[in-house]
Structure 1
């Protein structure tokens, strides 16, 4: 199949056996499909469509799914499988951008016309991409390629994760002008830099991270002002081996969400202003992979084995509810493409996640209840 191919709706609906919520399985294909990384909004066309990746026919391409009709449209036409196809949306929702190896490509989501806006250095490994709030620039990162020095397979088991951190590869953060492809190195360092996240309201602010095992990395979350080049730490450790990460911007573009683990293993989720004020954290007694939130009013985590459920909290009048069972995810997390990565939609009424509970990664969507008080409580010791 090729660009603009329309795939008929594959969806099916069922009720979760633990909570009773209705879940829509949006894709059903014998080949992995997954939504964008949970820090990246993939909803467009006034919330009617979701951008996603799929390995259909052993070729990795971008697709859209219409959440009203279930119709799936193929957006790109690649002839091979890629380990990843990082993508992001332009703030106007008409364009998307994706990285295909060393190229960064713009695609018009209406006409499907593509334009290469950046050719990266083939000797470096490119990272994720994000668009600035004013829609003028793509921000990305790249680092030295050490695959000839030690085994690296980060997408499939984090092989080489610690070794890369310890090797301190030369890394760059690059600003690319969408209009003409002009690129500038805005920051460079000898550290394993990844996870570029642009503020959705401040065109000059981004976060990035020093990648590596969270308890060993020197510091995880960093802020960068693209105009002044100021760099600063965000949410410093409170304990020597405390773990903090999986950071993402709130829609206000001022606060940053994250989760982590205390030195004694206690888990927590939290939020902080980019200037290190207004920090709040909530602890819980079970393990998770990721956390996402709609502001600080609704929070979701994906349980880590043996916990195979999505657990949610809701804040009412300044107080969080008990942890509630939203549904089971039964996700293996075996490779990056089948991480659950639960994600609220922009208005907080729906929740999207990926699961390979049936053998292959597929997209699942939940219309959230108006309030969570009728969901069953989750008891960690049961």
Structure 2
């Protein structure tokens, strides 16, 4: 498939049956398509385009969807034999960062995309992992960190070019410490929100200010909570968090989107706690494989949520408009 081939619009518009929210289906090719993991924004060209991955012509490639015309364009063709993990661009656009981990598939079966096969075994194996820094001008790259622990989820601050987070990947109740910070220019590495006895923590991401890192988890007694702190592991703020959730995203502390259960849901902060969640729209995705994980994420101004669902039989990418929160039905779980 040639780079820059333009595919015609596949957009389908509908109103959610439960809430009346406007939902746009952006992809409709009869194979899986999905937006980026929720820690990666995907929007570019001033919010006029959205990057997605799509399986077309028996290959998985990167596409850019024009949100005005809904045409998609091939940007990059993946070479065989590579497994890219969480590529993120620095705030100044000069570098991209990613983690790479030695291949464990010759020791045990590995299929993270379909049922997390080999997930625990990889954590137990303590594979050699590296964080890669590559220049966007094509001048080359370097390894900036390595250790014998499974590293994943390299997330760059959206405002600080030299600051990123990464995680120790594995079962949340087993890893030594989930979230780590790094100052690339100094080489400093530090823990962020070390868990207390019996706690689990994960699904970290950056607030839009590039100063604060958000995460969620459970206490030893099973109580769900939502927290955020400065990237230097100071000024921790943690709140009770009601209702089911899986992956969450927010641009700041006031409104959170998540994919728990069969619906895309919103939580609004009210003082020191969060209100019961409200339904934005249904997703009804099975989430049995990574390509149909919902992974909702707000756009920059919080007016829309992008998500993926396999409800049609194939994974497809959708955009839902966010109406006034009070107009949405509340979920009591």
Name the TM-score, length of structure 2 as normaliser: 0.93
Q: Give 2:283's aligned residue.
A: 329
Relative distance call for 1:331 and 1:217 in structure 2 (3 A) is same
Q: Give 1:43's aligned residue.
A: 43
Moved more, 157-166 or 63-72: 63-72
Relative distance call for 1:126 and 1:16 in structure 2 (3 A) is closer
The aligned runs of 1:138-149 (5 Å cut-off) are: 138-149=96-107
TM-fit CA distance, 1:186: 1.6
Q: Which runs of 5+ in 1 are unaligned?
A: 79-84, 86-98, 103-124
- 2: CA distance, partners of 1:181 / 1:270: 39
* Contact 2:239-2:272 within 8 A present in 1 as well: no
Q: Which runs of 5+ in 2 are unaligned?
A: none
TM-fit CA distance, 1:219: 0.8
* Contact 1:194-1:209 within 8 A present in 2 as well: yes
Q: Give 2:305's aligned residue.
A: 351
- 1: CA distance, partners of 2:136 / 2:231: 26
Moved more, 152-161 or 173-182: 173-182
Q: Give 1:135's aligned residue.
A: 93
- 1: CA distance, partners of 2:251 / 2:67: 20
Quick one: higher RCO (CA 8 Å, sep 6+), 1 or 2?
A: 2
What number of residue pairs does the alignment pair up? 333
- 1: CA distance, partners of 2:42 / 2:296: 12
For 1:289, which of 238, 242, 246 is the aligned residue? 246
Partner SS, residue 246 of structure 2: strand
- 2: CA distance, partners of 1:195 / 1:163: 18
TM-fit CA distance, 1:346: 1.2
Name the TM-score, length of structure 1 as normaliser: 0.82
* Contact 1:31-1:58 within 8 A present in 2 as well: no
Residue 269 (structure 2) pairs with residue 311 (structure 1): no
Q: Give 1:88's aligned residue.
A: none
- 2: CA distance, partners of 1:60 / 1:184: 26
For 2:220, which of 254, 263, 281 is the aligned residue? 263
Partner SS, residue 128 of structure 1: coil
The aligned runs of 1:221-236 (5 Å cut-off) are: 221-236=179-194
Q: Give 1:69's aligned residue.
A: 69
TM-fit CA distance, 1:237: 0.9
